[in-house]
Structures are given as structure tokens and as C-alpha cells.
Amino acid sequence: MKAKDRIIVALDVNTPKKALELVKELKDYVGCFKIGLQFINAMLSSIITPETETWAIQNLESIRKLFAALSGNILWDGKFDDIPNTVGGASQEVVKIGVKMFNVHASAGKEAIVQAVANKGNSLVLGVTVLTTIDEDECLSIFGGRPDRKVADFALTLSHSKADGVICSAQELKILARHPGTSKLLKVTPGIRPKWAQTGDQKRVMTPGEAIKAGADYLVIGRPITQPPEEIGNWEDAAKKIAREIEQALKEKGGE
């Protein structure tokens, strides 16, 4: 992969028009786009709630143009977390869109992951472990263990269930590297913040270069690209700057 192909831009916007603008501007400078819960529901809202049918049709046309522009380079961030039968059914439907990847919460259990894998078609199944906004205290409260331990547990379950990859903080990548059972999983890391970007609501973060050196295959990046600091420039400038950091990290990693 080229350095840019490791970048997954989060389309955390509230209108199809805004998403289409981002994709048209960035598709030549990144590898993939993440469509998450905010935009999934925004798309539904844009065609259900308009007062006129004309407005709804215009939004629907924008959505169809958006998916044509995406050409399947999509991480569908639906975070399926339900009983196995429902997860399997949801997986069957999302692969009809032709997405490159979609995800399921590892905490849904092995059978739910197995159902996602059984119905994945040509897509890749990724498992969400511990969200990067969750700190150690909250992880203990929710899962009964520290993030490093729980991410390792979830990753092993994903591997045993034949999932294709794991989504976790870059801070847990070195821990996964010590588990032979998770070596074949693709490592997808959100919570990526360049030194020039604000951390925001993220708790467990790394820079793009640090994450690549730690073993990340793909980096999910939102606001540093879609809302870059003024001194960095526009969306394209931010994406290029991050790709250069990734390329440098890959060179340094290869020389170790």
C-alpha cells in the first residue's frame, strides 16, 4: 500500500452534500472513507424528514452520487452489537452496498462475530474493542478490566472467530504484537492525532507516525483532516501532510 492508502477519513458530517464535497476533494489523497452512526442517520433523516418530496429527492440524488464517488472504498462503521441472528442479517444487507469493510462490536460475543463473518461476502469484518474515548477507570467499570487486557481478550476472540481485523487504540498495538494469535488481524486504529491537531474528546491517542511504527495498518482520522487548523491549510493539505508522516514512519520502521 502507498502511504495515502492507509488513511481512512471519517465522514462525521450531517448532510449528503457536505460528505460529497469531502469525498470529491479527498478521494485522490486518501484510501478509504468511514461512514459512521452520525452520517448513517443523517442520510436517513435527509430523505425522510424534508417537507417536500422535491427536497427529499434532491438529497437522495446526492446520496447516490456520493456512493458512486466512493466506489466501494468505505468502512461502514455501524458497530453491530446485537444477538447473532440480527448481526448476521445486518451484515447481509450492508455488503450489498459493496463496502470494503464493516465492523461489529467484539463485546457482542463470538457467535455474533461468526455470523458477521459468515455473511460478509467480499467485505472485511473488523471488530471494535475498547473505544478510544474510554479511559482506564471507565474500561474497568464497563468491561471489568484495563484497556490493554480487554483489547487483547477481544482481539483473540476476533481471531478465533475468523474476523479480518481489529479496531483499537494505537496504544494497544504493542500488546497485540506479543500475542501470536492476533498476528494475522489487520490493525485499524482510530484516535489518531498529529502533533499539530487538538486531542478533543479522545483519551488514548497517538500521532500517525507513532501508530504506524507500533504496527497499525490503517489509520482512521476525522477532524485533523476535515477540520484542520488554519495554519495547516485545507482538507487536501492536511491529508498530504499526514501521508508524508506515514511514509516517513514506514521508512524508519523498515530500517529498524
Q: Report yes or no: 74 and 99 within 8 Å, Cβ to Cβ.
A: yes
What distance separates the 2 farthest-apart alpha carbons in the chain? Answer: 61
At what angle are helices 136-143 and 147-160 packed, to 10 degrees?
50
Residue spans of beta strands (DSSP E) within the chain: 7-10, 32-35, 74-80, 101-105, 124-128, 165-167, 186-189, 218-221
Terminal CA-CA length for the chain: 19
174 is catalytic: no
Cell numbers for 109: 460475543
Q: Which position among 17, 27, 65, 79 bears the catalytic label?
A: 79
C-alpha torsion angle, residues 168, 187, 80, 162 (rounded to 10): -130
DSSP secondary structure, 129-149, as one string: -S-TT--HHHHHHHHSS-HHH
For 71, the 3-state DSSP assignment is: coil
Cα angle value 155/40/208 (rounded, 5°):
50
Q: Name the residues annotated as catalytic.
A: 79
